[in-house]
Every structure is written in structure tokens, then in C-alpha cells.
Homo-oligomer: A and B are copies of this chain.
Amino acid sequence: MTNTLYLPEIREMLAENNAVELQEFCQALHPARTAEFMEGLRADESWNVLKHADNGSRVEIFAYFDPSKQVEVIETADEHDVATLLERLPNDDLVDLLDHVSPDRVATLLPLLPNAMRRDVLRLRAYPEDSAGAVMTTEFARLKETDTVRQALADVSQQAEGLETIYYLYVIDEEDHLRGTVSARQLVSAMGHPDVKIVDLMERDVVSVEAEDDQEEVLHKVARYDLMAIPVVDHEHHMLGIVTHDDVIDVAREEATEDAHRVGGIDPLEHGYLETKLPLLIWKRGVWLVIFFCGALLTTVALQEHESTLASVTWLVFFIPLVNSSGGNTGNQSATLVITALATGDITFRDGWKVIRREFLMGVALGGILAVGAFGTSMVFDEPGWLGSTVVATSLFLVVLCGTAAGTLLPLAFHRLGLDPALMSNPLVASLIDFLGIAIYLNVALLLLPKIAGG
């Protein structure tokens, strides 16, 4: 929500170039709030306001701008001012940001950054998208095993200023191997014994991820072990960086959105909906729509096969959507339950049989309920009559059973094959059910309706 409350005042301060008030405005509030108040301003206006903030709050406020505004500022403002601003961003955030800046501009800016930072940025950009390496920051608090609590505290108080989090302090040996961790809490509560050695304080069994691991792995471990941050190491257990809590929450949301998109029959978007170019979006949707289209063609063929039946008993057509959508919706529900339960680790493959049994019982129950409803309603129509209504009800029951079966087995199978169960998107299940539905419905009709059997 844009907060336009103070826009006029801010613009006035800018017009008067009222340094005092602009400074005051930049310091008074939580940087995120300050950024909100500036949402209505153009990028250049926002930048002119930020010029009055001290370096510290300038970068903090900037960090809360919309990505689009951040990019515009970076691309338009004076390159040296921008460089001094970027220097103070956590380097994982900087990397994400530069992904959206024009390559030429990045080329001009990188040389203006301190060597160490430039090296880190280049290295981080080299990691595959959605890998632990790509979301980690290389800035973390380091300790030596030989340090005493006193030294460590002094040491950390030096480092703290420039760090994103000091909740965990990482104990590193000469070859940069990760040996253990000490939490800020442990350190602070050990203040009473300043001569204790870190080696005697540290947790040796450290949960970590490798730089190439998928960010989903990061999410699972952080959630499983309730961590504030997780260290990222290479194959030889050299410490490379850490992934901090804020990035983990973002990952959790990204992964959830990805799954939702897959389930919705869309190839997941890398960026936001509005940032995604139309042609790309059309492609990501079109591909699946064409696949579903082919699925639906099967149904068309199946219907044509039964042309004579349909011709002799027209009313059969009326109930096709009822039978198919009931089966599709139940299958859709089963697929959703299984996919989400697998995604949250609520069920694993070894629960497979339990899940299948439950879904079967549920299919019987739900199919029964809907079949009764179908029988009742089709009795209301004059044509079907007792026999016809029996055909509708029986088929609907069977189709619902197929629906739950397909919706349960397909995601489980995909999970088993190491594929993303969410790929078993609802439309895919639905079009499969459509096809089966027609086959079941019309064969039951052939079986039970004398008019056809006779004809």
C-alpha cells in the first residue's frame, strides 16, 4: 500500500532543498517506514532525499525500496555515489539486485567496488540459480578455537558492525575449515568465565549445506533444526558463507509459489508476475495448455467412438459434465492433499500405503454421497428414468474412485521417481479423468440400457 500521507511535505522539503528537515525525516523512523513514505516518489526524487541521510541509514532505507526503484536508482544516479551505497549492502542482496541491472551498468559499477567485495560478488554470481551458494552471504562472524571468551567477545564486537547477523559465530581453522559454532547467546552467558577457551564452548556437530545444494534443502534443514542461519561449505568442508533467516523465509515463499504454479499448470516464474515479460509468460502457460489440449483430444476421440450410442440416447450427453467434473474435482483434491503433505514433509513415501488406503475409503464415501445426489437429480429430468439414473449414479461413483486413485498414485509415483510431485498438476489429473470418465460412463450405459444393447 502506497502511503501518500507525507508526499507533499517531502516534495516541499526537496523544492526548498531543506537539508535539516530531510535529514530529520531520514533518521526519525524505522528505515522500512521511511521507505514506505517515499513509495510515491520518483526514483530521482527518492535519491535526492537519500542524499541527506548518513551512509548507514541511507543504505538501510534504500534496502526497503521496491526492486524496480532500486534498479532505476542504480542505473541513473552518479556511479560513484551508487558504488559507495552498494558497498554497504549485504553481498547476497547486492548479487540479487545486480541480476536486474543492465550488464553495461554492472560493468561500470563493479570496478568501483572494493576488491574483496567485487571478488565475492563475481563468485556468488557463478553459483546456479536457486542453489545454496546463490542465496548465501560471505559475511559472517569468525572465531578461532584457541580464542578465549574474552578475546572472542572483543573480536566479535569489532566485527559486529559490518555483519548481517552475529547470532551464530563460526569457528574456523587455518585452512578455513568449519570446525564448530558458538551462539551469541552461549558467548554472552559465558561472560562470567572470560578465560574459557572457545574450543571448549563450541558445538562441534554443525548442520550445514553444500554450495551446490538446492535452496529447498536449505529450507528443510533450517526448518528441521530451527536454525537462525545455516553455514554453506564446499566438498572439503571449507566455510564459504551463511544463509540468513530472512533469505530462508523468502525461499520458503518462493518454493510454495513454485509448487502452486506447477499445480496450476504453469511453468514456475523466476521473477514476479508483473516483472515477467508477456511472451515468456505466454510460453510458460502455452506449453502446458497444449499438453492438456492433447489430453482433451483423447476424450474427443473416445466420444466419437461412441457416436451411435450418443445418437440413440441423447440425454446421456447432459450428464457428461456432471460425471467428469465430479471425478476431476475429487482427484484434484486428492492430488492437492498428497502434494502439499509431501512438500511439507508431513508424509513420506513410506506412508504410501496408509495414504492410499485412506484415499480409497474417502473415494468410496465421497463417491457414494455424490452418486446419491446424481441419482436424485437425474430422476428430476424426465428422460433418464430409473434405469438411466442408475447408469449416471453408478458411473459417477466409479469415476470418483478413479479420480481419488489417480490423484493419489500419480504424485506419489512422481515423488518416488525423484520428480516434483507438483508436476502432477490438477489439469493433468483432470484431463486423464475426463478420458476415463467418458469410457466408464458410456460403457456402463451400453451395459445397462436395453435400448442401446438392443439397437
Give chain A's interface residues, CB within 8 Å of chain B. Answer: 1-2, 28-30, 32-33, 153-154, 156-158, 160-161, 163, 165-167, 184-185, 188-192, 203, 205-207, 219, 222-226, 228, 245-246, 248-250, 252-253, 256-257, 259-261, 263-266, 272-274, 278, 281-282, 285-286, 288-290, 292-293, 295-297, 299-300, 303-304, 307, 310-311, 314-315, 317-322, 324-326, 328-330, 332-333, 335-341, 343-344, 346-348, 350-351, 354-355, 358, 361-362, 365-366, 369-370, 373-374, 377, 381, 426-427, 430-431, 434, 438
Contact A322 B293 (CB under 8 A): yes
Taken together, the copies of this chain in the complex come to 2
Q: A207-B30, A289-B330 are in contact. Are A272 and B160 (CB under 8 A)?
A: no
A264-B336 in contact (CB<8A): yes
Contact of A344 among B257, B290, B361 (CB under 8 A): B257
Q: Most B CB atoms within 10 A — which of A163, A250, A304? A: A304
Give 12 A-B contacts (CB < 8 Å), ordered by A residue.
Answer: A1-B348, A32-B224, A158-B189, A160-B188, A184-B184, A184-B188, A188-B188, A263-B336, A286-B369, A303-B318, A307-B314, A321-B324
Residues in B neighbouring A264, C-beta threshold 8 A = 263, 332-333, 335-337, 426
Whether the Cβ atoms of A260 and B259 lie closer than 8 Å is: yes
Q: How far is the CA of A292 from the CA of B333 in the complex (A)?
A: 12
Identify which of B30, B246, B350 contacts A205 (C-beta below 8 A): B30
A185 is contacted by which of B166, B222, B325 (Cβ under 8 Å)? B166
Residue of B nearest to A373 (CB): B293
Question: What residues on B are CB-neighbors of A191 within 8 Å?
Answer: 153-154, 157
Q: Is the CB of A322 within 8 A of B297?
A: yes
Q: Which residues of B contact A344 (CB under 8 A)?
A: 253, 257, 272
A184-B166, A249-B248, A326-B296 known; A310+B314 contact, CB < 8 A: yes
User: Please, how many angstroms separate the alpha-carbon atoms of A206 and B273 in the complex?
Assistant: 32
Contact residues in B for A373 (Cβ distance below 8 Å): 290, 293
| Alpha-carbon distance between A256 and B203 when the two chains are bound, in angstroms | 33
Are the C-beta atoms of B160 and A32 separated by less than 8 Å?
Answer: no
Most buried by B among A154, A161, A226, A341: A226
The residue that A366 contacts in the complex, of B226, B286, B348, with Cβ under 8 A, is B286
Assembly CA distance A438 to B318 (angstroms): 11
In the bound complex, CA of A47 to CA of B86 (Å): 53
